[in-house]
Amino acid sequence: MKKLLLSGVCLSMVLIGSTAGASYYVGSDQCFTCHQDQFNEWQASGHPWKLRKVDKARYSKLPLPPGYSWDDISYVIGGANKKARFIDLEGYIITTAKDGSEAKTQYNINDGSWSFYHQGEKKPYKCGPCHMTGYTPDGNQDGRPGMIGTWVEDGIGCEECHGAGSDHAQKPSKENIKIDRAVESCGKCHQRGGINPAPPASKGFIKHHEQINELFAGPHSDMNCVQCHNPHQRAILVKDACTSCHEAKIDTFPQSLHGKAGLKCFSCHMPKATKSAIKENKYTGDVRTHIFTINSDPAANMYETVEKSGKKSTTAKGFVTLDYVCLGCHQSKDINWAAKNIKNIHE
């Protein structure tokens, strides 16, 4: 096998899939040489933070669950934008204080609070394939019994989306690297329970990684993610793409009361009806929905609960309701006030 110059990539990563004629993983650091701009954007995106070893995560200045020091931690889950959870030396997600007593062990970045996460359970880490690169369900990463499966790189690296890159690293060409802009490529992780038109919900909010379910439930099901998002960048750096289809509304909205106040299309059509870590108030979570359609009927219910085989499940419908659209900001008003005043919202 030809020798490759690898920056911080362990030998075990190189050897995976390195049988004759087969492309194998080389690690994201290899991509920096030719793709510096994309690499730097990716580093800041949050994707590589989905899972990090303690030797990297300990410098992020995150607080730890009660009684723990960094010497007790093997990995950190997240920690970039919304929340952080911690994995012990055996590979289990920490759900108690170090002495086994009750403790809130999920750290919420936006407000510095702590939440319970599977309180008191012995919780294995089985979040593949969405928090790592090159996942296989076999074995235990690092030989830790609580880590279910193995992988070649922590976090979402370049090769998780672009495929194993050894051929491309040795002879760069568009022909030997995967470039997949299909919704299903993002939908491998940005959904729960499969890609379907019924986003799962709980406790008044859509669950936190249901963007593909939401997209398919709403009016933009024929669009793909990269029409609005650069996949190398943070999601909040979304392109302002509404004008390409909704020119009439865009022409009048900047002169409206809300337009003059600095609101954008997403402020109302993508309210924070989704929750990852915390909710700001009764109708405001911390993730924007991708459903878009607003139902202005004050009697409309955004959620539907069904019971099957004695088990209840709640899903969101294909619209957002005025409580999430309006009352998150106008907290002193009610739903009937919102229905009366939304009619000329674009003017």
Distance of alpha carbon 125 from alpha carbon 132, whole angstroms: 12
pLDDT at residue 277, rounded to an integer? 96
Q: How far is CA 346 from CA 37, 247, 293, in A?
A: 38, 12, 14
Residue 58 belongs to what domain range? 52-121
86, pLDDT greater than 70 = yes
When mean pLDDT is compared over 92-96, 192-196, 343-347, the highest value belongs to 92-96
**133 located within any domain:** yes
pLDDT digits (tens, 9 = 90+) for 286-306: 999 999 999 999 999 999 999
Strands 294-295 and 320-321 turn out to be parallel
**346 located within any domain:** no
Co-location of 169 and 255 in the same domain:
no
Co-location of 66 and 24 in the same domain:
no
Co-location of 12 and 161 in the same domain:
yes
**224 located within any domain:** yes
pLDDT digits (tens, 9 = 90+) for 254-273: 888 899 999 999 999 999 99
212, pLDDT greater than 70 = yes
Please tell me whether residue 13 adopts helix, strand or coil conformation.
helix
pLDDT at residue 172, rounded to an integer? 96
pLDDT digits (tens, 9 = 90+) for 121-142: 999 999 999 999 999 999 999 9
Position 192: which residue type?
R
Going through the chain in order, the beta strands assigned E by DSSP cover: 52-53, 73-78, 83-88, 92-93, 106-108, 113-115, 123-124, 132-133, 153-154, 200-202, 205-206, 294-295, 303-308, 311-316, 320-321
C-beta of residue 7 within 8 angstroms of C-beta of residue 30? yes
**271 located within any domain:** yes
150, pLDDT greater than 90 = yes
C-beta of residue 251 within 8 angstroms of C-beta of residue 243? no
Position 200: which residue type?
P
**347 located within any domain:** no
Question: Which of 330, 323, 337 lies closest to 258, judged by CA?
Answer: 330
pLDDT at residue 318, rounded to an integer? 94
Non-local CB neighbours of 242 within 8 Å, separated by 6+ positions: 249, 250, 265
Mean pLDDT of 28-38: 96
Mean pLDDT of 310-324: 95
**60 located within any domain:** yes
Co-location of 112 and 199 in the same domain:
no
Co-location of 5 and 62 in the same domain:
no
Co-location of 60 and 34 in the same domain:
no
At 16, the pLDDT band (50, 70, 90 cuts) reads: very low
Domain final residue, candidates 72, 89, 121? 121
Co-location of 151 and 281 in the same domain:
no
pLDDT at residue 251, rounded to an integer? 77
pLDDT at residue 312, rounded to an integer? 93
Q: Which two tokens stand for residue 174?
A: 């568009």
Strands 200-202 and 311-316 turn out to be antiparallel
At 252, the pLDDT band (50, 70, 90 cuts) reads: confident
Co-location of 295 and 201 in the same domain:
yes
Q: What is the pTM of this model?
A: 0.89
Domain final residue, candidates 163, 179, 195? 179
Co-location of 279 and 212 in the same domain:
yes
**276 located within any domain:** yes
C-beta of residue 117 within 8 angstroms of C-beta of residue 105? yes
Mean pLDDT of 302-323: 95
Q: How many separate domains does the chain show?
A: 3
> Looking at residue 94, what DSSP letter applies?
P
